[in-house]
Structure 1
Amino acid sequence: MSFFKGFLYAFSGIIHCIKNERNMRFHTVAALYVLIFARFFHFSRGEYILLLLTISSVMVLEAVNTAIEELCDKVSPERDEHIRHAKDAAAGAVLIAACFAAVIGVVLFWNGEGWLAALHFYGSHPWHTAALMILSVLSVLYIVFGVSRSSKTKQH
């Protein structure tokens, strides 16, 4: 397999997770909003690194959880206690990461000045406010309904 094909397969896996997993869509939207509002908080380089590592850890674990669930469903479509434990453990890993991400988010964003700066910016830029409102509606639709599932992922 060529180096380039490896990247194509990896991107295909990411797209598969986004198309088929509502939680992954939720995480992508949450990451987008975190990054949109982070600019108002004047985080240090270390805080930005922590933010990016936190976002990526949740999304990586969600992708691994999806892979484990799909493999388990393929290997053992019938109910099996060991398969259930494996799937529960993978889901638990995502939950742990998401809970710690929420705590880190609260700690980093617990700053009234940052929220006031965001409020001032959006209050004085109506087009940005309108764009944010439209993005919010589109985000809910994206999370709930996903994206087109018409294309099948080719196996390699």
Structure 2
Amino acid sequence: MKSELRRFLRGFHYAASGVWAALRTERNLRFHLCAAVYVLLFSRFYSFGRLEYALLVLCIGGVMSLELANSAVERAVDRPDAEHWAAAGLAKDMAAGAVLVFSIAAATVGIALFWQPAVLAGIPGWLAGHPLALALLAASLPCAVCFVLQPKKKG
């Protein structure tokens, strides 16, 4: 029983290691993570309920999950032999296409949730009235760009 539990828990460790490895090596996953943080921060300006937050979490989780799967497919079919070169390229393109399709769907959900002109118009005024929040936002943007664009690490 203990060994079964240990093996079960080890699976979580492997999964977390995979996410960490992808964050270190995959620029697009880092971009999606930063976008998710800003989406969740700006969602506080809206009177979202549980359903809206559930949609946001599903969209964020879906895009990031597909990005992880895309990275896995790319690794699995990297450097195929000559006989499988075309199929490997097609598999990589299809995995990237899955991310694109879900990202478009998530962006559509985002537009439906966030396109409230009265709320959007009030955000600059709120930031102007809260200089510390504005400074933190301004400081976070270059940090996010550096995080996203950091050179690919080997591993």
Instruction: Report the TM-score when normalising by structure 2.
Output: 0.88
Say which of 56, 59, 81 aligns to 1:54.
59
Percent of pairs with identical residues: 38
Residue 26 of structure 1, CA deviation: 0.7
Q: Which letter does structure 2 place at the counterpart of 1:130?
A: A
Instruction: Give per-residue Cα distances to partners, 1:72-120, cap 9 Å, x unaligned.
Output: 116x265711111111110000000111111111111101232234323
- Structure of higher CA gyration radius: 2
Q: Tell me how far apart the structure 2 counterparts of residues 134 and 122 of structure 1 sit (CA, whole Å).
A: 14
Q: Which letter does structure 1 place at the counterpart of 2:137?
A: L
Which residues of structure 2 form unaligned runs of 5+?
Answer: 1-5
Residue 44 of structure 1, CA deviation: 2.2
RMSD: 1.8
1:107 matches 2:112: yes
Following TM superposition, the consecutive aligned residue runs of length 4 or more in structure 1 with deviations greater than 3 angstroms are none
C-alpha contact 1:58 1:98 (8 A) present in aligned 2: yes
Residue 63 of structure 1, CA deviation: 0.2
C-alpha contact 1:41 1:113 (8 A) present in aligned 2: no
Q: Tell me how far apart the structure 1 counterparts of residues 151 and 35 of structure 2 sit (CA, whole Å).
A: 15
- In the superposition, relative to structure 1, how do residues 77 and 56 fare at CA in structure 2: closer, same or farther (>3 Å)? farther
Instruction: Give per-residue Cα distances to partners, 1:17-41, cap 9 Å, x unaligned.
Output: 1111111011001100000000101
1:25-104 paired onto structure 2 within 5 Å: 25-73=30-78, 76=80, 80-104=85-109
Say which of 16, 22, 42 aligns to 1:17.
22
Q: Tell me how far apart the structure 1 counterparts of residues 122 and 151 of structure 2 sit (CA, whole Å).
A: 32
Aligned length: 149
Structure 1 or 2: more helix by fraction = 2
Q: Which letter does structure 1 place at the counterpart of 2:95?
A: A
Which residues of structure 1 form unaligned runs of 5+?
Answer: none
Partner of 1:73: helix, strand, or coil? coil
